[in-house]
Amino acid sequence: MRLRARQVWSTTFLMAVFIGVWAGTRSYGQASRLASTPPMGWNDWYQYGCTVSDAIVRANVDVLVSSGMRDAGYKYVNIDDCWQGKRDAQGFIHPNSRFPDMKALADYIHSKGLKFGLYSSPGPKTCAGYEGSYQYERRDAETYAKWGVDFLKYDWCSASRVYAPDQMQAAYRKMHEALESTGRPILFSLCQYGLEGVWRWGASVGGNMWRTTPDIGGNYDRVSLFGFMQNGLETYTGPGHWNDPDILQIGLGRLNHDEELTQMSLWCLLAAPLLAGNNLTKMSNDTLKILTNPEVIAVDQDPEGIEGHRVWQEGPLEVWVKPLSDRSMVVGLFNRSESPLPITVRFKAIRMKDNVRVRDLWARKDLGDFHGHYTAKVPRHGVVLLKLE
């Protein structure tokens, strides 16, 4: 139904019908209330790995607030792997020495108007070899609720030692049910690298977001591969449940300026979760501007939650579109080649009228009214992100 509607979304009547049907059939109760728009926040892994500590998290929390990122929408502060210590005689998990009081840290995060996230695995060990949740799902869920956890990233890792592939759904459902039993709303993030076609069943086991890719950490080639391969998954996403192509690499020093604009633009067109992964305490003004551009973030956070898709490709040149709830259209012109090249969007090809008002979202500038088409010269590995009305 959704794909057919997209073929004619330029007409007001059919668009209204599509939105009404989609909203009525894609409601997932508490899940949609927890993640009505793609979750936004910060994750420590790509910057700190197993050196993360209470002090590091607090320092980044302070900048998340003072920099304006919290007010721009970045709410979740997510501690990834390596926080776990040992279990006590009753089987309850305790943090290691780098986190002397997890409840106090959670209280600090909450006092700043933010939400607190943790990490575990359905297997006996996490990716880094710390304690997983295998056979301790209920106890861990109780502990998370007591500490004030708002987000759980659940990483498959060693689960393959104890579960067969066809048991993956049951393993994730088991933790979802444990979290539900606590009575505390905890956003559930499935991290299993796109295995077993997770986009087809993630919502049915309680997932609010699910990784559609392996770990992204790396250069533009991985960012480009993981982002553009999302085309075709748009029917599986919406309020309460989101495809997740992994953490933003912006500010980590692995991408140049144009490549960072490409990732931010594409992730927002994809209605993907926006989790910053950089050291906020040493963030440049350029990085901050990319992460907090309000017009670009609004594309990601549009309440209809429609994921964009590719409408045109010529070798390394691509045009992507995403309809917004105000009936405007966002268009991304992407150049994946090694030299600057012009890219044209033809308005009739995306089911728009001939006369269109064009705004550049990165420049935050109205470009004027155009007839029939708009052409821009796009940098190598770069993007031009437009709003058409």
Residue 357's DSSP bridge partners are 369
What Cα–Cα distance (Å) separates residue 11 from each residue in 21, 59, 276, 364? 16, 50, 37, 27
- Selecting among 62, 215, 258, 360, the annotated active-site residue is 215
CA dihedral 174, 175, 181, 185 (to 10 degrees): -140
Instruction: Judge residue 174's burial from the number of C-beta atoms within 10 Å of its C-beta, 0-12 exposed, 13-18 middle, 19 or more buried.
Output: buried
Active site residue 354: no
Q: How many angstroms from the chain centroid is the CA of residue 265?
A: 12
**Would you call 215 a catalytic residue per the annotation?**
yes
Distance CA 278, CA 275 (A): 9
Termini Cα distance of the chain = 25
Task: Specify the 3-state DSSP secondary structure of 258.
Answer: helix
Reported in sequence order, the residue ranges of the chain that DSSP labels E, i.e. its strands, are 40-43, 76-78, 84-87, 93-95, 115-120, 151-155, 187-191, 209-211, 242-244, 274-276, 309-314, 317-323, 329-335, 341-346, 355-360, 365-371, 373-378, 383-388
Integer Cα distance of 170 and 174 in angstroms? 6
Q: Which residue has the tokens 């792997």?
A: 81
CB 325 within 8 A of CB 291: no
Q: Whose structure tokens read 């992730």?
A: 267
What amino acid is encoded at 331 in this protein? V
Q: Answer for the pair 45, 277: CB distance below 8 angstroms, yes or no.
A: yes
Active-site residue, from 44, 81, 150, 155: 155
Exposure on the CB side of residue 43, measured as CA atoms within 13 A: 23
Determine the Cα–Cα distance for residues 290 and 262; give it in Å rounded to an integer.
Answer: 10
Q: Is 263 helix (H, G, I), strand (E, B) or coil?
A: helix
Which residues, in sequence order, are CB contacts of 245 under 8 Å at separation 6+? 211, 212, 213, 216, 226, 227, 230, 267, 270, 272
Catalytic residues: 155, 215
